[in-house]
């Protein structure tokens, strides 16, 4: 476990989260962007998810799954922050509490 | 008649079930060629020869479609949190169908995920009923 592999893990999650944000932008009914941009957003989203997944697969032989999977919990918090920042989704204390509980639960499930 | 099916929250639930089914199929497909053999040093592609793996791939593609349907109207953070239900369904499915053991810590994690989802879902249920 060193700084390089940690940054690779975070990089994979960043790609996955970016993919979800772009997917949402592509699909959103109340899209303020021109609809013709949707296909491009969609394929960029799929590409970002693929890159994230490839990095993840590459990391798998190096680490125990029980070490890698708890980062799934972290990506949920990253996604909520990104959705609030870039999609301007309204986050309430109640939603934050839910996200934190789910993340903690995911970490427990994957650590066991 | 099928309108309820295209309700975005039903689509999220459908997505969760499909992802769970897909993961189970992948496990079955992988087991068909390397039963109980742990080889973490290399990726194994033999699983692709199993029919289970292909059923899993189809299920995963269908799950993407239901996810896209949900994203049309549900905010991303809420959809993503609700889809966390897969971390409840998958261990349970492994327990029921594959006979895998669930230890106390895992039960605890499942409980936390359920409480988190309930906290997020409860106001939505009230909102849906009003519509």
Q: For residue A82, what is the nearest residue in chain B, using CA coordinates?
A: B77
- pTM of this prediction? 0.87
Mutate to test the interface with B, among A98, A104, A110 (most CBs of B within 10 A): A98
Q: Tell me, what's the pLDDT at B128? A: 73
Angle at alpha carbon of residue A53, lines to A48 and A54, rounded to 5°: 100
- pLDDT, one tens digit per residue, over A18-31 is 999 999 999 887 66
Average pLDDT score, chain B = 87
A74 exposure class (CB count in 10 Å sphere: 0-12, 13-18, 19+): middle
A97–B112 C-beta distance less than 8 A: no
ipTM here: 0.89
A97 pLDDT tier (thresholds 50, 70, 90): very high
What does the pLDDT look like over B73-110, one tens digit per residue?
A: 999 999 999 999 999 999 999 999 988 889 999 999 99
DSSP B35: T
Taking an 8 Å cut-off on Cβ atoms, the answer to whether A102 and B76 are in contact is: no
């Amino acid at each position: 476990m060193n700084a390089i592999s940690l940054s690779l893990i975070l990089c994979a999650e960043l790609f996955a989260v970016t993919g979800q944000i772009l997917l949402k932008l592509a699909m959103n009914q109340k899209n303020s962007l021109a609809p013709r941009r949707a296909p491009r957003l969609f394929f960029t989203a799929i590409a970002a998810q693929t890159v994230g997944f490839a990095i993840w697969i590459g990391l798998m032989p190096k680490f125990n799954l029980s070490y890698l999977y708890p980062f799934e919990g972290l990506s949920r918090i990253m996604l909520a922050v990104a959705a609030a920042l870039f999609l301007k989704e309204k986050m309430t204390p109640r939603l934050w509490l839910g996200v934190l509980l789910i993340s903690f639960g995911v970490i427990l499930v994957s650590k066991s | 008649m099928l309108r309820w099916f295209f309700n975005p929250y039903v689509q999220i639930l459908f997505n969760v079930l499909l992802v769970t089914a897909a993961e189970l199929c992948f496990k079955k497909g992988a087991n068909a060629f390397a039963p109980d053999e742990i080889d973490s040093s290399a990726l194994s592609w033999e699983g692709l020869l199993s029919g289970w793996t292909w059923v899993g791939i189809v299920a995963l593609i269908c799950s993407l479609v239901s996810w896209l349907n949900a994203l049309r109207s549900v905010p991303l953070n809420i959809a993503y949190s609700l889809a966390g239900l897969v971390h409840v369904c998958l261990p349970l499915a492994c327990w029921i169908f594959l006979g895998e053991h669930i230890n106390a810590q895992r039960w605890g994690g499942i409980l936390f995920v359920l409480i988190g989802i309930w906290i997020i879902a409860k106001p939505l249920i009230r909102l849906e009923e009003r519509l």
